[in-house]
Structure 1
Amino acid sequence: MNNTDHTTATVEPAIRLESVTKQYVGAETVTALADVDLPVYGGEFLAIVGPSGSGKSTMLNLLGLLDGPTEGVVRLGGRDVTDLSETELTDARREYIGFVFQDFHLLPTLTAVENVTLPTAFTDGQYADRAVDLLGRVGLGDRLDHTPDELSGGQKQRVAIARALINRPEILLADEPTGNLDRETGVTILEEVRRICERGVAVVAVTHDELVTEYADRTVRLVDGRLGEGDDGFAT
């Protein structure tokens, strides 16, 4: 489903890993990523696949500015953000990046609207109207005042997506976006992700679900921290 060809594009990627290596030093040094070069463009839906322990979560953390590389450069909209301070990284995440977690991470005592507005708690402005609009877009206009225990798994995932979009991010990162869902609900979620891409947002999903790759523009495969590309990511 590749609707966007960036092979000859001159636009800057929304985010890019350049020659990135990530190592964890303990009793022995573990190389989670090895010399990875990965651009992700606005409006692109990228799926990252690979066996457990291949480095997918590490890559998502680097793309989300939650961790830094041991070697190499991370660029956000062309800007080198590798060595920003923690405060600067927090500001960059808030402004540019939305996160959708596998286990939703919704607060059980808050309504759908309150959960969606949670990332704006320490920012100026009123976001309740936008939260209502986003929940309506994902088909939850009649669940605004429901708490998570009154929502199905698919509905919780849609609340999580709306929450990730509340700050109008340029990049949406999703960890196993269909992992807890039946196929029909997964299709509904992925169709919404496609609509998000059509609005120019870059979406990156780490997944074990082949259904996600059917909706993605591009699939990259990680094995032992090294990057490949193609549709055979589930054959390893």
Structure 2
Amino acid sequence: MTNSLEIQQASKAYKRKNQTPVQALDKVDLKAQSGDFIAVLGPSGCGKSTLMLSAGGLLELDSGKVVVNGQDLSQLSSSQKAEFRAQNIAYVYQEFHLISYLSVIDNVRIADLALGAGSEERAKDILNQFGLGDRVHHLPSELSVGEQQRVALSRAIYSGAKIILADEPTGNLDSENAEIVLKALRDFTEQGGIVLMVTHDDRAVAYAQQKLTMAAGHWDS
């Protein structure tokens, strides 16, 4: 199956009391398909985070739409959208968002725990690929920063997502760990996934096939 992400004429403004609204997105278009690794660049406040939230259906647009694998996200209810995200989209953040009281393997399998589903062996295999085989029962506080980011990426891959939205995934990492994360994201696209990555890191930009720069809510041509 070919995966796809299409953002069509996306606009979003943030209203502020007694002040001029801030136009975070202004008729932005973006198309990505299986194998695409896209880096989004631009200064703070230019709309990158709004773009990422919109791409994952976490933010309602004022106009335009986001279509993931043929599904217009605006046509889904909140519960349907959450279910669709769980099956198709994963996030990797600079802050990791690991649950402090859960072990490494339970953080990776977090979506399965309530259902008693999934595969512990598959989770261990992924952690082994990231050099975390001896950390499966550790808590996040017992890991280095680089190890925590590798756990977060393991969780994204374990989820079976077709699209990874990565927000500054190497911002806190040294060169060795940054390379591990970036190679894993590249491998994900080579296996048919899509990566949309916001970054200021030249190391990360070098791994992307396509580089787009935002300025004041639109693409800077």
Q: Smaller-chain TM-score range?
A: over 0.9
For 2:24, the aligned partner's letter is A
For 1:98, the aligned partner's letter is A
Separation of aligned partners in 1, 2:128 and 2:2: 32
Change (3 A) 1:122 1:93: farther
After TM superposition, the score normalised by the length of structure 2 is 0.93
Moved more, 118-127 or 181-190: 118-127
Separation of aligned partners in 2, 1:92 and 1:43: 21
Residue 12 of structure 1, CA deviation: 6.7
Separation of aligned partners in 2, 1:213 and 1:109: 34
Residue 150 of structure 1, CA deviation: 1.7
Separation of aligned partners in 1, 2:84 and 2:61: 17
Q: Is structure 2 residue 161 aligned with structure 1 residue 169?
A: yes
Residue 123 of structure 1, CA deviation: 4.0
- Of 1, 7, 27, 1:35 maps to 27
Separation of aligned partners in 2, 1:126 and 1:188: 25
For 2:57, the aligned partner's letter is L
Residue 102 of structure 1, CA deviation: 1.1
Alignment correspondent of 1:62: 54
Instruction: Work out whether residues 12 and 62 of structure 2, in 8 Å CA contact, stay in contact via their aligned partners in 1.
Output: yes
Residue 164 of structure 1, CA deviation: 1.1
Separation of aligned partners in 2, 1:138 and 1:200: 20
Residue 79 of structure 1, CA deviation: 2.1
For 1:171, the aligned partner's letter is I
Alignment correspondent of 2:94: 102
Alignment correspondent of 1:114: 106
Q: Is structure 2 residue 15 aligned with structure 1 residue 25?
A: yes
Residue 13 of structure 1, CA deviation: 5.7
Moved more, 155-164 or 193-202: 193-202
- Of 195, 206, 223, 2:215 maps to 223
Alignment correspondent of 1:83: 75
Q: Is structure 2 residue 138 aligned with structure 1 residue 139?
A: no
3-state DSSP class of the match of 1:69?
A: coil
Alignment correspondent of 2:199: 207
Instruction: Work out whether residues 4 and 68 of structure 2, in 8 Å CA contact, stay in contact via their aligned partners in 1.
Output: yes
For 2:16, the aligned partner's letter is G
For 1:115, the aligned partner's letter is N
For 1:24, the aligned partner's letter is Y
Encode CA deviations 1:180-234: one digit per residue, 9 max, x unaligned: 01122211211111111111110111111111110001111101001136xxxxx
Encode CA deviations 1:4-30: one digit per residue, 9 max, x unaligned: xxxxxxx97611100111112232321
Encode CA deviations 1:139-179: one digit per residue, 9 max, x unaligned: 21121112112211111101000111222010011110100
Stretches of structure 1 that go unaligned for 5 or more consecutive residues are 1-10, 230-236
Instruction: Work out whether residues 13 and 39 of structure 1, in 8 Å CA contact, stay in contact via their aligned partners in 2.
Output: no
- Of 135, 144, 157, 2:149 maps to 157
Supply the RMSD in Å over aligned alpha carbons.
1.6
Stretches of structure 2 that go unaligned for 5 or more consecutive residues are none
3-state DSSP class of the match of 1:104?
A: coil
Percentage of pairs with the same residue: 37
- Of 135, 140, 146, 1:148 maps to 140
- Of 117, 127, 135, 1:125 maps to 117
Residue 104 of structure 1, CA deviation: 0.7
Instruction: Work out whether residues 178 and 209 of structure 1, in 8 Å CA contact, stay in contact via their aligned partners in 2.
Output: yes
